[in-house]
Structure 1
Amino acid sequence: MEHYFFPYKRSSISCHRYGRGPVMVICFHGYGELGDHFRILDQEDLSPYSLYCIDLPHHGRTVWKDGNAFLRDDLLQVRQLVTSHHQREFAASGHDGRYALMGYSLGGRVAMRLFQSDPSRVHRLVLLAPDGLSSSFWYWFCTSTILGNKIFHYSMHRSLWFLKFLRQLKKTKLINKNKLKFITDYVEHPNSRRLVYHRWRTLRKLVPSASSVKSRLREHHVPTRVLFGKFDRIIKPSTGKSFARAVRSNGAYTELNCGHQLLLPKNAEAIIKALGD
């Protein structure tokens, strides 16, 4: 494993690298995680690949000092820092700058937004239980409207009422116990709530159009692999199945014997296979 810091404007982007192969894969982690969660893939089967696993703003060792929004242009520029680094290393072999994209959960949403912005350089897309396959009214309301942002800000600074509200939703079966645990794990402590607010606000613009992504995947004939856990109660596996089906002959859907967390040692073989099958 290697670790880099890429300077960007006033910020510093942390990136973990696994593998030394010529095939470049840019990876994005899930919410509250960091790039080194992809370390479970660091094994012999990874030899053809170089995985560049970026810590998103307000995650891991990335230091974000460029405002309260990480925009599409920022994402493209960070992508360019990574691809330029890889191209310099493999200049002798004439690397063409094309790469694969892989994203888990929140990172799947980011990967799709990057693909939507510049599909021509992506030769494969691997989505692991991705967020962003369907739109969320509440995410849009809380992060993109004045009223919603005020309520969100208040909730993260005075969480007692919010936790009571979530428990009431569970009692009325409007939210399942898995989602309740997933949310409460991130809002029980003041520092965690502060991070939730900044992460949601900063990444709010990186929302793909699923229909546009599917259209461009078909247009550019990009092999697309969608993996979900059979027991995922955070994001419905059926959304991944229908997405892969919409990509037609280039899409494939795989269901693994786990829940929402796919980055587990027992799943490493299936994930690496998705990079090159």
Structure 2
Amino acid sequence: MEKDLIRLLRAEEIECRIAIVNEKGLSLLLYKDARVDQRILDETFGAFGWKRSHQCIDGNLYCTVEILDRESGEWVSKQDVGTTGYTEKEKSQASDSFKRACFNWGIGRELYSAPFIWIPAAKTSIQKKGDKYISNERFSVGAISFNDNREIVFLEIMDSHGQVVYTLGQGNGIHQGDRRQKASRKEGGADQGRHQDKHPVQEQEKAGGQEMEPRDGQKGGHNPDPQNGGDRKYGISGPQEIVLMAELNRTGVALEEVLERYGIGDISQMTPIIYNKAIAALKQTKPKGRKSGTAA
């Protein structure tokens, strides 16, 4: 079944969801919906080459996605459990378990390499409602490309007005479903030809360290290895940064306080060891209202 390699997601197949909002800005998560999974399964294995089923185990809804191995004639299955949404509990569990099972088959697994996407307040619309901050802005992936390890090396996020509000990388490997040419034609498209000439990882190496500002969400302090698409000696993954920001939001501890405590100037310089120490300390810290105890 190796020949049936799952293709990478296209830009228009990736959705953006707001994860955290505060007075300084908001963070985004990238995800796919169940219709994308169904379409890719049909494309890759044929309409009669896959099937799904659901099982309730210990009160949790699981989904099993089976793929027909045409060489052996046997069905190969992978399973995962769903989580409950805020509405339509059964429907959300069914959809979530299906999407998770498809992740196990490799559909959209490249999203796990997504960076921490932070949109500063100056680049978007944020309102305060009561004691909370909200945003009604909608975001989309304008362009995306990957390296040979199926990791994201170039990413553009646009708002509902077609303005680019976040950019990762400066190269153009193989863009999947690039919408930027349509949405930004009015901006002149001056850099479209430039993207065609250089490998995205090489471009990131040249850019490394030049822009440490978090306003573009780039990990400027981390120089990726062109052979493996970037090591993790420095810099943490997007999901790890989401966890970190959630803990900071819960405890009211400022990111600057954590960085200062561990003697680093930017989140891109945070090592996995520092991250684990910071998370462990934050989890022992009570919610907002009490002084942080984030000692190593």
Please give the range of the TM-score, normalised by the shorter of the 2 chains.
Answer: under 0.3
Structure having the higher Rg: 2
Between Structure 1 and Structure 2, which shows a larger proportion of strand residues?
Answer: 2
Q: TM-score, normalised to structure 2's length? A: 0.24
TM-score by length of 1: 0.25
